[in-house]
Amino acid sequence: MMGIARRAVGRILPPAACLLLPLLSLSAEDVPHRLAARAHADTPLMTDLRELCDGIGGRPTGSVACDRAIEWAAKKFRDIGIQNVSVEPFAAQSMWLPVSAEANAVSPAAFNIRIAAAPMSPSTKGTIEARIIDAGEGTLADFARLGGTVRGAILLIHSTEMKTFDDLFAEYMRNAVLNDAVRKHQPVAMLLESTRPRGLLYRHPISLDLNYGPVPTAIISREHAERLARLAEKDEVRVRLAITNKTAPSYESKNVIAEIRGREKPDEIVLIGAHLDSWDLGTGAEDNGVNAALVIDLARAFHDLGIVPRRTVRFALFTGEEQGMLGSQAYVARHKSELDKFAAVVIFDTGSGHLSGFYLNGRDELRKPVNDALAAVEGLRATGHVTDVLDGTDNFDFMISGVPNLVGIQDPIPYLPDYHAESDTIDRVNQREEKITEAVAAVLMWSLAENPDRPAKRQTRAEVEKLITDTKLDEQMKALGQWEDFKAGKRGW
Ligand SMILES: [Zn+2]
């Protein structure tokens, strides 16, 4: 889905100097270097990514393509030779899959309009035609000014160009205001101006709480939105719109889990995860095929090098992430009785940009063990950790269950400009940086699974509640529809 970081309250410490090497036997000491060397060498990571992105393509959860990706990933793990591979089904609600979306201006000028249906948008009933109302940026003041003129019209909502993660965050956070205003003022549809120029379209979910939006909603190309707005200054502008989506109250998807059993403490678990699903306009290369391929290749690395650490390592590919982390939520619920045994969870979900460190998700006590773990790859400069708490990817349900969790901090380039867009294809991937990320991830996973001590303890519910309050994460959880479930004990601790 996305990365939304909250500043943790409290001191942010500088990266600790790595003076203490973990105590390992001589042969074990070689392992990090062998893993890092392998990641830098020629590996099948990019070949796998081609199969996933070019061969299968965009794969929204519940789609035929997503089911193919699940089968593909399970077969990959089995072909590597991993003994324990499981495909774990879970029940999901509120299926939304795109079918078609068309729009054209009929007067005062006739032209085709590029649109992409917003996930969770309802369908139009056949083709509708209505006048355009320019509602500015769709603030409460804009709606107050427009009053009754909105009823029965197609709303045109302007956007500023997205340049940073904060801009992206703002685009999500205004959904609630827009949907509330739509319910009150009753337009027949809503067109949201693309935040990316040159005709680029992307999937922007209009709701993340599994409720469908109030009216048919689509992203409209920036250039077409501006043309409609200029025309609407003088004339009544009429637009035809037809959006068809496939929806269902419930459906099933699956997580793919591979496991290398620990040699001494097989019941203790270190998990590395990435989401396998994606939106469909592009082929989900940066978000998040490249990191799904990394997880698969890491399993291959451990298997091929014959590495069996002290603890069990699990390689997890979740689906339903784009719909609100449904797969990892289901995974945590399914494995609830095991959560005390999870030593750490590591998630990657921001493409192939340079890895500068990890989100510690409010757990500053993780800084030292992570730095110790990364001592063997100190030269790769992945120790710029931040204490920030992240909501919006697959660490979330582990975090609110108290499990120590890390999310890779990666440069927003190349991920961000192509986020959920037609242009998220394999051409964008920075192969060199991804190999470095794999080297860091491999060494980190090895150390977390091998070190005699666990990196941190599991937090109690009271400690998780304090972390949420201290970091004001509750505001975000409310906006993303997660708060009530946490409070009611349905999600997390
Ligand atoms: Zn993602």
Q: What is the pLDDT of residue 1?
A: 63
Query: What does the pLDDT look like over 401-452, one tens digit per residue?
Result: 999 999 999 999 999 999 999 999 999 999 999 999 999 999 999 999 999 9
Does residue 493 form part of some domain?
no
Q: Look up the CATH number of the domain holding residue 179.
A: 3.50.30.30
Q: Are residues 396 and 465 in the same domain?
A: yes
Q: Is the pLDDT of residue 4 over 80?
A: no
pTM score, two decimals? Answer: 0.94
Q: Are residues 173 and 243 in the same domain?
A: yes
To the nearest whole number, what is the mean pLDDT of the chain? 94
Residue 132 lies in a domain: yes
φ and ψ at 132, to 5 degrees?
A: -90, 135
Domain-terminating residue out of 223, 247, 271 = 247
Residue 213 predicted with pLDDT over 60: yes
Is the CB of residue 310 less than 8 Å from the CB of residue 372? no
Burial of 131 (0-12, 13-18, 19+ CB in 10 A): middle
359 and 443: one domain?
yes
Q: Residues 215-225: what's their mean pLDDT? A: 98
Answer yes or no: do 317 and 235 share one domain: no
Residues 67 and 129 in one domain: no
Question: For the residues 236-244, what does the mean pLDDT come to?
Answer: 98
* Over residues 349-374, mean pLDDT: 97
% the chain with pLDDT above 70: 94
The end-to-end CA distance of the chain, in Å, is 23
Q: Residue 20 has what pLDDT?
A: 36
For residues 467 and 320, membership in a common domain is answered with yes
> Distance from the CA of 404 to the center of ligand 1, in angstroms?
20
Domain assignment of residue 252, yes or no: no
How many angstroms separate the alpha carbon of residue 2 from the centre of ligand 1? 6
Among residues 214, 247, 280, the one where a domain terminates is 247
Does the residue 208 lie in any domain?
yes
Domain annotation covers residue 89: no
314 and 459 part of one domain:
yes
Banded pLDDT at 29 (limits 50, 70, 90): confident
**What distance in Å separates the CA atoms of residue 220 and residue 270, rounded to the nearest whole number?**
43
What pLDDT score was predicted for residue 26? 45
Phi-psi region of 21 (alpha: psi -120 to 50; beta: other; left: phi over 0): beta
Mean pLDDT, rounded, for 260-275: 98
Angle at Cα 337 formed by Cα 336 and Cα 339, nearest 5°? 65
Q: Are residues 243 and 265 in the same domain?
A: no
Q: What spacing in Å lies between the alpha carbon of 453 and ligand 1's midpoint?
A: 31
- Cα(63)–Cα(253) distance, integer angstroms: 9
Residue 302 CA to ligand 1 center (angstroms) comes to 25
Ligand 1 mean position to 25 CA, how many Å?
A: 38
Its domain, for residue 101, covers: 96-247
Q: Which of 269, 259, 389, 276 is nearest to 326 (CA)?
A: 276
- 368-377 residue pLDDT tens: 999 999 999 9
Is 336 a member of any domain? yes
Same domain, 326 and 356: yes
Q: Do the domain assignments include residue 90?
A: no
> Based on the domain organization, do 57 and 116 belong to the same domain?
no
Is the pLDDT at 134 greater than 80? The verdict is: yes
Q: Which of 247, 281, 304 is the last residue of a domain?
A: 247
Decide if pLDDT at 11 tops 90: no
24 has pLDDT over 60: no
How many Å lie between the centroid of ligand 1 and the Cα of residue 322? 7
Provide the pLDDT for residue 481: 87
Provide the pLDDT for residue 2: 55
Rounded CA-CA distance 279/175 in Å is: 19
Q: Which of 26-35, 123-132, 291-300, 445-454 has the lowest mean pLDDT?
A: 26-35
- Residues lining ion ligand 1 (Cβ < 5 A) are 287-288, 349
Residue 250 has pLDDT above 90, yes or no: yes
CA–centroid distance, 238 to ligand 1, in Å, is: 36
Do 39 and 68 lie in one domain? The reply is yes
In this structure, is residue 140 part of a structural domain? Answer: yes
What was the pLDDT predicted at 370? Answer: 97
Q: How far is the CA of 107 from the centre of ligand 1 (A)?
A: 39
- Number of domains the chain contains: 2
Q: What is the pLDDT of residue 22?
A: 40
One domain for residues 354 and 243 = no
77: domain CATH number is 3.40.630.10
- For ligand 1, the distance from its centroid to the CA atom of residue 308, given in whole angstroms, is 29
Task: Report the pLDDT value the prediction gives residue 273, as an integer from 0 to 100.
Answer: 98
Q: How confident is the model at residue 19 (pLDDT cuts 50, 70, 90)?
A: very low
